[in-house]
């Protein structure tokens, strides 16, 4: 992996990574923190092509052991929507998509923090639109992109 240099080498002091590895280390740490937050659940406004409901506030959870993204009404409820991470084709962080604009309820949300996730087989693509506050938006985007990249590397 990376080479380490020791500064002020005393017992109990951690080794300090070299400068070029420090940025990679902090990005990985941020990604792991974002994944941990998404595993506990984040409240988002969600609209889906597969749900026959209007957009509503749901809890978005990541089950990294199972490789699933789950939408529930609250902790302890049955999942309304489960997406296998292997089936995610694209994550688009943009509100200008026609799919995102077509939802009337989302038009009321004056948010720039939109994510559209396309998933399914190549013949039956479905999507979900979601929006969250600024902090959660960045964490969701980072966590999803990291997890999907990891799943693709395994396949």
pLDDT tens-digit series, residues 120-135: 987 888 988 888 888 8
> How far from 10 is each of 6, 14, 15, CA to CA, in Å?
9, 9, 10
Closest among 79, 67, 63, 71 to 47, alpha carbons compared: 71
Half-sphere exposure of 92 toward its Cβ, with a 13 Å CA cutoff? Answer: 16
Complete DSSP assignment for the chain = ---EE-SS--TTPPPEEPHHHHHHHHHHHHHHHHHHHHHH-EEEEEEESS--S--EEEEEEEETTTTEEEEESSTTSPPSEEEEGGGEEEEE--TTSHHHHT-HHHHH---S-EEEEEEEETTEEEEEEEE--HHHHHHHHHHHHHHHHHHHHH-
pLDDT over threshold 60, residue 6:
no
pLDDT over threshold 50, residue 119:
yes
pLDDT tens-digit series, residues 42-84: 999 888 777 666 778 899 999 988 999 999 987 778 999 999 9
| Domains present along the chain, CATH in parentheses | 4-154 (2.30.29.30)
């Amino acid at each position: 992996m990376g080479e380490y240099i020791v500064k002020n080498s005393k017992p109990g002091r951690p080794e300090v990574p070299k400068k070029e590895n420090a940025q990679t280390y902090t990005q990985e740490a941020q990604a792991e923190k974002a994944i941990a937050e998404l595993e506990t659940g984040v409240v988002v406004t969600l609209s889906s092509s597969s749900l026959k409901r209007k957009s509503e506030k749901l809890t978005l959870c990541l089950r990294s052991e199972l490789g699933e993204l789950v939408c529930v009404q609250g902790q302890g409820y049955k999942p309304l929507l489960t997406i296998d991470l292997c089936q995610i084709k694209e994550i688009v962080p943009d509100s200008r998509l026609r799919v995102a604009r077509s939802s009337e309820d989302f038009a009321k949300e004056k948010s720039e923090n939109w994510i559209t996730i396309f998933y399914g087989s190549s013949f039956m693509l479905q999507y979900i639109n979601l929006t969250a506050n600024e902090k959660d938006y960045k964490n969701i985007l980072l966590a999803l992109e990291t997890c999907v990249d990891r799943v693709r590397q395994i396949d």
